Structure 1
Amino acid sequence: MFARLRIGITAKLFAAILSTCMLVLITMHWGVRLSFEHGFIDYIKRGNEQRITMLSDALADQYEQHGSWTFLRNNNRLVFNILRSLDQNPESSNQLPPHGWRTQFWVIDQNYRVMIGPRGPVPPEGTRRAITTSDNKVVGWVVGSPSERLTRVADINFDQQQNRTSWMIVGLTMLLAALVTWLMSRGLLAPVKRLVEGTHHLAAGDFTSRVESTSRDELGRLAQDFNRLASTLEKNESMRRAFMADISHELRTPLAILRGELEAIQDGVRKLTPESIISLQGEVATLTKLVDDVHQLSLSDEGALAYRKRDTDLVPLLEMVAANFRHRYEQQGLRLNLSLPEAAPQFGDPDRLGQLFTNLMENSLRYTDAGGSLSIYVESGPGGNLLHFEDSAPGVNEDQLKQIFERFYRAEGSRNRASGGSGLGLAICQNIVAAHDGTLSAAHSSAGGLKITVSLPNKPH
């Protein structure tokens, strides 16, 4: 049973802070006690020594006036008057200890006989001060009881009272510290508990989970990072589901066509002719192109595409790709216009950049109406190159413009595979540009179509 008992972080933090407070309080208590028993007692001891010194000096003056101790024997009133005069003297009273802390004393003559003092033997370990006349003759002594007896005998009750009061203060302070520590630990760990609950929801697959961020400290920033992580996971999950749905849709149509034609040939409805074989080969080619595009996209997403970057020139690269497309553009009734500088140096992979230009020209070829055109112009500078691919109508609306780089998205109203392709070309282009630390953006073309801008920084290597 006890082995299964788990102590939460709130209890651990409470125990740690409370233990620290208790240790500090007990240490302070003993520190005060030691200060009282040593520091204050030393102060009283010095004060009593000063009192005995002043009394011995006063008695020395009286002895010189009378010439003997006859005036003092059993004359306690005289000593009392001397002590009272010392207490009333402003200069000396500040140096004397309080009345409750004054030790007993004895006045003895040169023959060690007690003249003034309580009954009982004179303590040999007491403070002793000689009564000396002006001619340095010792005529007696003033002996005070040891100040250490202060806490053992004279004021033991006061010491015990102080000790009890000190422990009561420690106990009340501990209760207050326990209450404050409990409230503080709960308040400090409330954001942590919210993060723990949110993490449990994420682990269970609930990517809509969010935690409230109410502070600007490290826990607040952690909560914000958690929310961003949850948002990213939610977006990735949505993209994964959409991707799988699009893949299944793209594969289902050519497979259904292939199955229908093969069943028709098998049932004798359609004869196996060269035309039917060409039709079947067309659907196989569509499937092959789709699978190749998906493979290329997965490689570019993982960064697994091989990039062999080197110093290259974009101008001959664009001219070569445009030459390969020029005949197909003419067949579709489209014009291909190039406006290129003499050179556009770029540090990059010429094969992947050629794939980028091919996909962009293929996209314009599929979507531009007959009689239109594609204009390509390049702005080259020391910091990099800007490439603009601007075609003519038809264009896209604002909603389509925002989704133009999403996978399997085609801006046409009908999902006609013959003209629209797989819808993965621009997604692959975006990954290639990102691999070159560039950006790919889309805008409306002044010719009524779509304008794709490729920004490639030419970073030193």
Structure 2
Amino acid sequence: MRRIWMRLALTFMAVSASGILISTVLSIKEMDYHFSMYLNEVNQQHEQDLLDILENEYQTGLGWDDQTYLKLKAASSVLGLQFSLFDQEHRLIRTFGKAVNPEDTSSVNMIPIKERDHTIGYIGIQYDNSYAMSLEEHFRMAHTNAMQWTMLALLLLVCIASIFIAKRLAKPIVDMSDASRAVSRGDLSIRVDLPQGEDELSVLVHSFNNLVQSLQKQEELRKRLTSDIAHELRTPLNTLLAQTEGMLDGIWEATPEHLEATRSEVLRLIRIVSDLDQVIQVESGALNISQNEINLTNVVGGIVESMTAAFQLQGIQVKSYLKSTAWIMGDQQRIAQAISNLLTNALKHTPPGGEVNVTLEQKKRIVEVKVVDNGTGISPEDLPFVFERFYRGDRSRNREKGGTGLGLTIVKGIVEAHQGNVAITSEVGKGTIVTLTFPAIRNPA
């Protein structure tokens, strides 16, 4: 199987090699063109130099002297040219320079020699094409070799850089591939190192880590739920088993009081199963919520009134402060259940002589319900987990008071199903404040 970094590296190499090859070919062609232009300019300069000598040395009525011919001979040697001097009638005066093979010469270029706009003669220059071609070929070969070595060096550098960059780019993907295989084997503790930057690859790695973390959390919750359910059911089932075995063995008489104790354990099992069923519905989004206009003020007031007797039996004072007539959209029975669960919690954790206050107030388009008690409070380490199912800061105390550890989980699910929010603040020894907020459908009255 070809690894992704190899495919990336080969792609980088192919693109880079194509660019280098095209650049090299264009560079060679461009250099050849400019070198040819350079040779033409050199030839033109040679022609101008010869014309300058002839025009400056010309003597009116006498022509050119031997001194001029010596200069022309020296120039032909230096410039490597063969040229001939002609008079006004194109008659040959003298030829300078070594003889050139006719096959290696270009056509004679007759250039007029002027003095004061009058033609006084002509100079015919024959270029040694073999020399020019040799020079041009030598330059072309030198330049081509240099470009080839440069191209090879660049290709080597590109190969090394492509492998390095490809491995660096592919590392998070390879790590995620390895991590995903580990996750498929059940290892949810693995994480992929985040690459530097904030590009799409970093976002992908971050999302993958969040996904694995979420799966790990769900797995831990599933295991804990299984353990908690087993723990919650074990106590009443063991109690029922002991009671029924005692009755069968004749150790425990089937008196009305004993049967009532057995019935209480059965009811407790039923309550646990019922609450658990509601929690499952809430967390799966299958909780049946009807949508009706609800006078939340009346609902809260009715729940407080119906539970006042229970508070009084415990020596606890409960008061309601309903400052607004608030309307929300939702299921009245579910809302009443959430408020009742909060008051039941406050009743369980507020000592005799304590006080529980329920307030309702509408602020613009938000309805706020608060349940405030001065009970035992919740420790800071327990506070973040109070809405998790079966969570108890003090398991034995809650069990003795009839709690299943699901009440606040149900409250949170019901409130959020009504597009509301739940917040809780608490201090050990001072009490707890639970705040529910709902979107209002009418202005405050």
Which residue number corresponds to residue 435 of structure 1?
417
Amino acid at match of 2:185: A
The residue matched to 1:216 in structure 2 has which SS? coil
Amino acid at match of 1:140: Y
Amino acid at match of 2:35: F
Give the C-alpha shift of residue 358 in structure 1.
1.6
**Is there any run of 5+ residues in structure 1 with no aligned partner, and where?**
1-5, 85-98
Which residue number corresponds to residue 7 of structure 2?
12
> Is 2:43 the counterpart of 1:48?
yes
TM-score, scaled relative to structure 2: 0.82
Aligned length: 437
Q: Residues of 1 paired with 2:274 and 2:133: CA distance?
A: 99
Q: Residues of 1 paired with 2:156 and 2:192: CA distance?
A: 34
Amino acid at match of 1:77: L
Give the C-alpha shift of residue 271 in structure 1.
6.0
Q: Residues of 1 paired with 2:132 and 2:245: CA distance?
A: 114
Pick one of 102, 107, 114 that aligns with 2:84.
Answer: 107
Which residue number corresponds to residue 339 of structure 2?
357
Cα shift readout 1:397-441 (whole Å, capped 9, x = no counterpart): 333434322211234451564523211010111222333444323
Which residue number corresponds to residue 121 of structure 1?
102
Relative distance call for 1:334 and 1:36 in structure 2 (3 A) is same
Give the C-alpha shift of residue 36 in structure 1.
1.4
Q: Is the 8 A contact 2:272 2:404 kept in 1?
A: yes
Q: Residues of 2 paired with 1:70 and 1:19: CA distance?
A: 69
Which residue number corresponds to residue 167 of structure 1?
148
Structure 1 window deviating more from structure 2 (410-419 vs 423-432): it is 410-419
The residue matched to 2:396 in structure 1 has which SS? coil
Relative distance call for 1:352 and 1:54 in structure 2 (3 A) is farther
Which residue number corresponds to residue 90 of structure 1?
none
Pick one of 386, 396, 402 that aligns with 2:368.
Answer: 386
> Is 2:200 the counterpart of 1:203?
no
Which residue number corresponds to residue 184 of structure 1?
165
Amino acid at match of 2:375: A
Q: Residues of 1 paired with 2:252 and 2:52: CA distance?
A: 143
Give the C-alpha shift of residue 320 in structure 1.
1.9
Relative distance call for 1:428 and 1:103 in structure 2 (3 A) is farther
Amino acid at match of 2:181: H
Which residue number corresponds to residue 239 of structure 2?
257
Instruction: Indicate the RMSD between aligned Cα atoms, in angstroms.
Output: 3.7
Amino acid at match of 2:18: L
Which residue number corresponds to residue 215 of structure 1?
196
Q: Residues of 2 paired with 1:197 and 1:291: CA distance?
A: 42
The residue matched to 2:133 in structure 1 has which SS? coil
Give the C-alpha shift of residue 445 in structure 1.
6.7
Which residue number corresponds to residue 324 of structure 1?
306
> Is 2:393 the counterpart of 1:397?
no
Q: Is the 8 A contact 1:388 1:453 kept in 2?
A: yes
Q: Residues of 2 paired with 1:159 and 1:449: CA distance?
A: 94
Give the C-alpha shift of residue 133 in structure 1.
5.8
Which residue number corresponds to residue 93 of structure 1?
none
The residue matched to 1:65 in structure 2 has which SS? coil
Q: Residues of 1 paired with 2:135 and 2:17: CA distance?
A: 33
Q: Is the 8 A contact 2:295 2:326 kept in 1?
A: yes
Identity, % of aligned positions: 24
Q: Is the 8 A contact 2:415 2:421 kept in 1?
A: yes
Which residue number corresponds to residue 25 of structure 1?
20
Q: Residues of 2 paired with 1:447 and 1:313: CA distance?
A: 35
Q: Residues of 1 paired with 2:148 and 2:354: CA distance?
A: 96
Q: Is the 8 A contact 2:109 2:125 kept in 1?
A: yes
Give the C-alpha shift of residue 67 in structure 1.
5.6
